[in-house]
Amino acid sequence: MTVTLNRPERLNAQTPAMWAALADIGAQLPGDVRVVVLRGAGAAFSSGVDVGLFAASPAGESELSAIASLPEWAAAERICEFQRAFTWWSRPDVITVAAVHGHVIGAGFQLALACDLRIAADDARFSLPEASLGLVPDLGGTRALVRAVGYARALEICLTGRAVGAPEALALGLVNLVVGLDDLDPAVDDCVAAILATPRTTATEIKALLSGALGRTEQQQLAAEREAQVRRLKEGHGIGD
């Protein structure tokens, strides 16, 4: 299954309506889907949050100022609604792949980070400019960024807002592969084919082992590996409990 950000005239700038649509896709994902590929139409993956959210409406306030005027609990709940567009990409029963090119900025960067794997064209440029606006990344990107590059590098990327080009992103572990723009689609297709060649239960067991590894002790991880392998052996030999 492929999900495409389709506002190419705005470099796929993101809006609350887009986040609601993405959250709905996650909630309604058919059970037989094993891999979800996320793309951006046009010249960029996503340029981040649409600047319209910062502009005053006819009522005299912007979307962000309207959120700021809410009680703290209500403002937090509104942001929680936005986050639902990002959190489902790490669900345990599917593998998600972001195919990124051009601008991968702010919310766009965080959406790519939400996916399990990232394949980038060599023109991709990643940045998190929120700090320059007096804001923080709040769409699930901070945890994923630290896991990808470590605390110190994540802090530097967030505080400076600097652009990270595709070669550096590969060296830092932000992306799994960098290819020429014309080769992006074939590279993603190859990745998806390799994933689909693996039995679904094997893929989900491996994802669970790896995604939870840093939160377990060595002994807990060894136990998790044993339990997963026993399940695979029993299933492979048609032996039920």
User: CA-to-CA distance for 24 and 191, rounded, in angstroms?
Assistant: 26
Q: Does residue 235 have an active-site annotation? A: no
Kindly state the tokens that stand for 71. 């009680």
Residues 6+ apart with CB under 8 A from 172: 148, 149, 153, 164
User: CA-to-CA distance for 21 and 58, rounded, in angstroms?
Assistant: 25
- Measure the CA dihedral 26/32/38/40, to 10°: -90
Q: How far lies 71's CA from each of 66, 68, 76, 105, 155, in Å?
A: 11, 8, 9, 29, 29
Adjacency order of strands within the sheet including 117-121: 2-5, 35-40, 95-100, 117-121, 177-179
Q: From the candidates 130, 156, 205, 218, which is the catalytic residue?
A: 130
For the annotated catalytic residues, the residue numbers are 130
